Each structure stands twice: as structure tokens, then as C-alpha cells.
Structure 1
Amino acid sequence: MKAASILLVEDDHIIAANLQEQLEQQGYRITGHATNSDEAMALFQKERPDIALLDIELNGSTLDGIELSIALHTISPLPILFLSSHDKREFVERAKQAPMVQYVLKSAPIEQLLIALDTAFATFYARRPAVVASVPASSGSGCALYAAQDFFFVRQDYRHVRVEVADIRWIEAKEHAVKIVTDTKVIAFSVRLNSFLEQVPHPALMRTHRSWAVNTRHVVAYHRGRVMVRYREGTQEIPLSDKWRESFLSGLPNLRAD
């Protein structure tokens, strides 16, 4: 698991430094700072960030922020948040024409910026045809899940944490929450197991029990009521109930004898 990565495009070095410090304090990871569209395109190609913060007016740049957002989307679509020092109507209206973006003033407090980032994630993933729309995990939980095909973001206290499906070993239900286990970390998330699997419908994530699901890519053996999952330097036993046994086995590439 890792923090969501941000490409910051801002021609004012002082503003950029302040933004970077504030966002890193909130748990985000700044992949790079560009001052013009050429630098931004190069960083984007190299780092492939999860979201971009773009200044609309980039002095001395080939493209302004709005034109840059369109160029980035032609390479690989991503959530975009525009930054501007003023709310001129012409820029606001042009920003609305750009693909899947949000808009916030540079003078806005950090709380408003964090909300705008969250909205940018939610808007982007809700519109993606191959992606499950994000929904609040539970009433008042303060968490949300944004899921793509091979990864998802968990939002907790405005911080977006990226989890790769390939890293998951198993998922365990704990009352109204789930515990997502990887080789290096455990993250608790306030959502029911059924809802989690619906929001992250990855074929490798298979239910084995009312309270358990595993990543079949890490299954090393199964026998009767147990599934052995590769975990750190050894394995972990996960229960396999009769109710889920048939559907679980049907999802495994078993070799049949002649």
C-alpha cells in the first residue's frame, strides 16, 4: 500500500513548496513539481501519478493548465484538480469544458483543497466505464473506496491510500468492517465484506467463508476446510466453508487427469 501520488504543476515556486509541504503532511506523495507544460508532460510520462494539480495560468508555458489537462488525458486519463489565484469567469467556464476535473482557488484553506481532491477522485472514478463508482463505506465512517480493475484507493481522514489487488493476501470481515492483509501492512476499512467484493470485483479475489476472502494468486494449497495462502516467509490457513467451496474451486485453474 502506498499514498496516492500527485503531479504538481505550478509556476510559482513558493506556492508550490507550500502546497507540497501541506499535502505531504496529509499523507500524499508528490511525484514531481513542474513549472510548465513541457516539464509536466515529461514527469507524467515518467511517474504516471494518481492525480494532477494544475495551475491554470502557466507563465512562459507552451500550454496553459486547461490545455495541458486535455493533453494528459490523451495519454492516460486521470483525476485533475485545477488551481488558480482568482475566479475569473472565463477560466472557470473553460475549466468546465476540460475532462473530469475540479476547480479550487489557491487561497482556499487546506481543508477545502482536501475536499476538492476527494471530489476529483470520486468524480473521475464514478464516470470511468471500466471502474466501479465510489460510495461511502458506511454512514458516518469518514471513509470511501475508489476502485479500478487492479487497484483501489481507501480514503481515511482525507488521505487516499492506494492498495494494489496483487498485494492482497486475504480479507477478513470484522463485524461492520474488513481487515485487508498484505505482506507488509494491515488496513481496517469500515465496509461489509459483501460490499467490498462488489466494489472491487477482481477475479482473483474469491470468497472462501462468510467472513473470509482470499487472493487466489497467493493460494499455494487447499485441503478440505482449509486454504493455504502464501504470507511473508510462510503460509496462513484460511477457512473454506462448504457453502463457498464449489464457487471457490471453480475459480481455480485445476489440472484434470485423463
Structure 2
Amino acid sequence: MRSLQVLVIEDNYTDSLLMEADLTAMGHSVCGIADNMKDALGIYLEKDPDIILIDIMLHGKKEGIAIAEKISSSSQKKQPFIFITSLMDRPTFDQAKATFPISYLTKPFNKLELEYAIELALQNKQQHNTSASDSYAAETFFIKKGNHLIKVPIMSVFYIEVEGKFSNIFCERGKFLIELPLKEVMERLQGFMFVRISRNCIVNLKEVKEIDLTEDVIILQNNTRIYMTRRYKADFLEQFKPLK
């Protein structure tokens, strides 16, 4: 496991020194020790620790939970934290759980318990970052245009029309021609609300404003009119389950 920067929030001087010694023995560095919210948040924002150890009770109050809430609601960065406490009552645990800690250690705990908790925290953080990255990539097209990559959120696409081995993507940012057949585009769009309306065209269902059943025309939110073919008409209309 790589070396981590750890912030310790603890009001018991002896306990904080013991944790610092254990963390150092594990190969980690303590980037700061605080015993109140102001100092803790200051170190957190300045040092950007990899993980935070928080004692629930600080100077006779459950200020550790309030600090965790501040960290959890931070819009700038979120780091995993572990609660440490001598309290074992259910109400305290439920309060702590609501802030989504990565672990909960009750005092006294040994070095091995702390080491395992930190390893799990790091693993969960890495898995979360990977999942977020995969999710972001799955919901976005990056389309090459000249020497630029243009970000196009998939749900901003109005419709896609094929031209041979190329596909035209019509979206809020304009029109983009990509060298990808419609079949492969459809594979990228699995799980999104796109439906085929002709052999060469798929449309984003959320962009449909009106359907002209006489002319077989789909009218989008931006008033673009697209023709659907009879072969795909029934399947397309089934998506809306129209009231009669």
C-alpha cells in the first residue's frame, strides 16, 4: 500500500501521539493533528489529506460528527474518513453512519485494526474513482473536430443519422460527422432513450415534442421535423403508450 497523508482529529494528546506513532510505523505521514472544527477544516483544506481519522467526542461534545458532515458536504473535495470513539451506543453510531464514514473503530483498538481500516478506505476510494470515471465516459461522447476534442453529453443529442460508414450527430452544440456506422453508435447508446425510426436514423425520446401520424413525422423540441418509416413506426409508438 502506498504512503498516505493522514489528518488526525483527536482531543486526547496521548491518543493522538499513539496514532501518529502507529501511522508512521505503517509508512504513512500525519499531515496535521487538530482538536476542534476550525483547525481541522483548515488543515483539511490546506493539506488535502488522503484519509482522515476523526474522534467523535471532542471536548465533551460530538463535534467529530459535525466535522464529518462539513467534510461530506464539501463541494471541493471529498476524502474518506474513519470514526474513532469510545462510545458504543446505537444512537451515536446511527448519527455517525449518516455521514457515510468508511469505517468505525471503537477504542481501544490496536495497530492492526487501524491498518486494515485504512487499507479498506483506500480500496473503496479507488473503486469509487474508477466507477465515477467509467460512468462519466459512458455518458459522454468526445468528438474530434480538427485539433480539438468536443465534449457532447449523450442526453444532449437530438438524433443521429447515418451516411454509409459515417454518422451525423445532431445535438445542442451543432452537427458532428463521425466515422462510425449506426450499429456501433447504437451499441454505445445502450441504456439510453434512443429509438430507431428508420433504417438510417435514431432519435432521443426525451426530445420528442409531437408526432404527426398522418405524415409520419416526428417533431422535436427544437421544431426539427424527422420522417419515420412504417417498418419502425409501431415499435416507436409503443414507447409512448398513447392514450386514446
**Scaled by the length of structure 2, what TM-score is found?**
0.49
More helix by share: 2
Question: RCO higher in 1 or 2 (8 Å CA, sep ≥ 6)?
Answer: 1
More strand by share: 1
Query: Which has the greater radius of gyration?
Result: 2
**Scaled by the length of structure 1, what TM-score is found?**
0.47
